[in-house]
């Protein structure tokens, strides 16, 4: 039998890198600073409002615009992401090798803006590992045309509209697509639309998650069926062998595993983050 997956759909922040890097904390602080400096809320109010808007609208930006604040998305992202300490994100050679061993389509699906997504992927060394990026601009193409803040509601995960749009622009079959995200609500939304789901950063599955993994670097061990291939009338699975898995995981790992046999050469794609193809579709 072939692999059950034709496509892997990855969230970005806190999914492709650990949640304890400091980026998430930086985003939270910058959002509060934005509310204080740009919207003139008190520090106490900014802290509580940020949480309230996120719970109700999915993001602070979405909430502010819904409430009538004429906030430009580019200005907001420039403030909130422009001050982040991106140098805390280090290249992940192990993850790069793993992703490039996967022959199926690989797509980024993030609520973040395109500039932020590119910076993160470049810091990780993964800028040429994905076929497509679905980001804030993809989900909100009409926002720059708005004449009033509430004319076009901001669309983001975990809304059904965001999930449907992602499936539409990526043209994937949700039944054969594995969706990775660290957010339980996003996973539940994806499951509702028929996606196979993997909760990242956890060891225990929720009822909407088909898999749960502590880190995407553990895919070989946790979801080996990604690499199942049909060749010459027989099924070839990942057999766990030390020598080839070390090539994916990196020399620092000394694991007793059988050989990974994956057909075909890895081909570096001109799509994804290359300038010859759209960064965000």
State how far the alpha carbon of 39 is from the alpha carbons of 64, 66, 80, 252, in Å.
9, 14, 14, 48
Neighbours of 203 (CB within 10 A): 8
pLDDT for the residue numbered 163: 97
Question: Phi and psi of 166, rounded to 5°?
Answer: -60, -45
Task: Tell how far CA 51 is from the center of its chain.
Answer: 22
Q: Which residues contact 50 (CB under 8 A, 6 or more apart)?
A: 28, 31, 32, 35, 60
* Banded model confidence at residue 36, pLDDT cuts 50, 70, 90: very high
Residue 254 pLDDT greater than 60, yes or no: no
**Number of other CB atoms surrounding residue 1 within 10 Å:** 9
Residue linked to tokens 């909760």? 199
Q: What is the predicted pLDDT for the residue at 259?
A: 36
| pLDDT confidence bin for 60, thresholds 50/70/90 | very high
Range from 27-31, 143-147, 189-193, 241-245 carrying the lowest mean pLDDT: 241-245
Cite the beta strand spans of 217-270 per DSSP E: 229-231, 234-236
pTM: 0.84
Asked if residues 219 and 98 have their Cβ atoms less than 8 Å apart, the reply is: yes
**Range from 41-55, 210-224, 241-255 carrying the lowest mean pLDDT:** 241-255
Query: Are β-strands 7-10 and 177-181 bridged in parallel, bridged antiparallel, or unpaired?
Result: parallel
Nearest to 24 by CA among 255, 201, 279: 201
Read off the pLDDT of each residue in 60-82 and give the average, rounded to a whole number. 96
- Mean confidence (pLDDT) of the chain: 86
Q: Using alpha carbons only, how large is the chain's radius of gyration in Å?
A: 20
Report the pLDDT averaged over residues 125-133: 98
Q: What is the per-residue pLDDT for 9?
A: 98
> Coil, helix or strand for 195?
coil
Q: Decide which of 57 and 229 is more confident.
A: 57
């Amino acid at each position: 039998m072939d692999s059950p997956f034709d496509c892997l759909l990855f969230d970005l922040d806190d999914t492709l890198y650990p949640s304890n890097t400091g980026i998430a904390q930086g985003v939270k602080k910058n959002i509060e600073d934005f509310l204080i400096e740009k919207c003139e809320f008190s520090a106490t109010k900014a802290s509580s409002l940020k949480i309230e808007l996120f719970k109700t609208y999915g993001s602070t930006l979405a909430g502010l615009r819904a409430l009538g604040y004429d906030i430009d998305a580019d200005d907001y992202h420039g403030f909130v992401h422009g001050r982040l300490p991106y140098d805390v994100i280090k290249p992940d050679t192990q993850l790069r090798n793993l992703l490039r061993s996967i022959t199926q389509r690989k797509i980024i699906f993030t609520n973040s803006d395109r500039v932020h997504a590119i910076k993160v992927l470049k810091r990780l060394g993964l800028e040429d590992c994905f076929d497509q990026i679905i980001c804030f601009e993809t989900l909100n193409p009409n926002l720059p045309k708005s004449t009033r803040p509430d004319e076009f509601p901001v669309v983001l995960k975990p809304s059904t509209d965001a999930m449907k749009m992602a499936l539409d622009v990526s043209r994937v079959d949700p039944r054969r697509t594995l969706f990775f995200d660290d957010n339980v609500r996003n996973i539940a939304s994806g499951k509702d639309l028929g996606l196979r789901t993997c909760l990242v950063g956890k060891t225990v599955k929720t009822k909407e998650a088909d898999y749960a993994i502590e880190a995407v670097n553990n895919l070989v061990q946790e979801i080996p069926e990604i690499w199942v291939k049909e060749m010459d009338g027989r099924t070839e699975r990942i057999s766990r062998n030390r020598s080839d898995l070390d090539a994916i995981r990196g020399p620092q790992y000394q694991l007793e595993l059988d050989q990974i046999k994956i057909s075909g050469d890895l081909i570096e794609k001109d799509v994804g983050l290359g300038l010859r193809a759209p960064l965000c579709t």
